[in-house]
């Protein structure tokens, strides 16, 4: 299940807003009462607070975004330092291509 933050971000983007709206206009909260996260404060100009149904409609795209972000972080770690990669390219570009391809194949995006 995707995080509420990501689903709200998707809602903002679908309504021509940016994630910067979170800075001072939106506050998510979790009261640790077993009910999970919810939108505590919503002060976005010219955009109504989303209903639970509207937020739920972004579950699939938010889950995909979170999965792809995890894969990007995994790939970045596996790729290693850019200086080392450039050295590897200089020494043997074919070996570098094969290594990068194996990382991408092992961590495909959705």
The pLDDT value recorded for residue 65 is 96
User: What are residue 90's phi and psi, to 5 degrees?
Assistant: -60, -45
The pLDDT value recorded for residue 21 is 87
pTM above 0.85, yes or no: no
C-alpha span between 110 and 106 (Å, rounded): 12
Domain boundaries along the sequence of the chain? 4-78
Q: In the numeric block, which tokens belong to residue 48?
A: 């109504």
User: What are residue 107's phi and psi, to 5 degrees?
Assistant: -135, 65
The pLDDT value recorded for residue 110 is 82
pLDDT tens, position by position, for the chain (110 residues)? 899 999 999 999 999 999 898 888 999 999 999 999 999 999 999 999 999 999 999 999 999 999 999 999 999 999 999 999 999 999 999 999 999 999 999 999 88
Q: How far is CA 26 from the centre of its chain?
A: 18
The pLDDT value recorded for residue 17 is 94
The pLDDT value recorded for residue 4 is 97
């Amino acid at each position: 299940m995707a995080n509420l933050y990501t689903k709200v971000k998707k809602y903002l983007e679908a309504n021509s807003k940016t994630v910067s709206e979170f800075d001072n206009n939106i506050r998510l909260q979790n009261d640790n009462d077993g009910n999970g996260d919810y939108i505590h404060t919503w002060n976005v100009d010219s955009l109504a607070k989303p209903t639970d149904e509207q937020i739920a409609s972004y579950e699939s795209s938010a889950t995909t975004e979170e999965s792809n972000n995890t894969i990007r972080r995994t790939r970045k770690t596996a790729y290693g330092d850019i200086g080392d990669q450039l050295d590897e390219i200089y020494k043997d570009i074919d070996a570098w291509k094969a290594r990068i391809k194996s990382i991408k194949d092992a961590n495909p995006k959705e």
